[in-house]
Amino acid sequence: MVIVHPYFGSNWPDTIWAYCCPENPKTDDPRFNPAVHLSLLSKLVCSKILICIGGKDFIRYRGWTYYEALKKYGWKGEVEIKETQGEEHVFFIWISQLVRKLRH
């Protein structure tokens, strides 16, 4: 599984998550903050996970938190994290849009 620039939550309230999932705006929802559900992490069925984050991403710590939780709490697979130095959150979207503009 490849997780590209995850927007996993933290223990702080998040207005974007509350908007996206009004039926459960709490920070303990596993879709928002999987690192707080350690028993669920051990049940992941994939054997490898790659987490990609930007070095200047304002939420890069969330990718690192998920990485550390996978390594520490019972998941038996192989996890790797790739941090692209000097890049912001979802930088690849802007690059691909620029390339398309230059081609036309």
Please write down the long-range contacts of 2-6, taking CB distance under 8 Å and 24 or more positions apart.
2/49, 2/50, 2/52, 3/49, 3/50, 3/51, 3/52, 3/63, 3/66, 4/52, 4/92, 5/52, 5/53, 5/54, 5/57, 5/63, 5/89, 5/90, 6/51, 6/53, 6/62, 6/63, 6/66
Give the start-to-end residue ranges of the domains of the chain: 2-103
Question: Lowest mean pLDDT: which of 1-10, 14-23, 57-66, 94-103?
Answer: 94-103
pLDDT, tens digit, for every residue of 44-82? 899 999 999 999 998 888 899 889 999 988 788 999 999
| Cβ neighbours around 100 below 10 Å, total | 9
Do the beta carbons of residue 5 and residue 52 sit within 8 Å?
yes
What amino acid is encoded at 60 in this protein?
R
Determine the average pLDDT of the residues in 26-33: 74
Per-residue pLDDT for 9 more than 80? no
pLDDT of 1 reads: 92
pLDDT of 90 reads: 85
Beta bridge partners of 78: 48
Percent of the chain's residues with pLDDT above 90: 24
pLDDT of 25 reads: 66
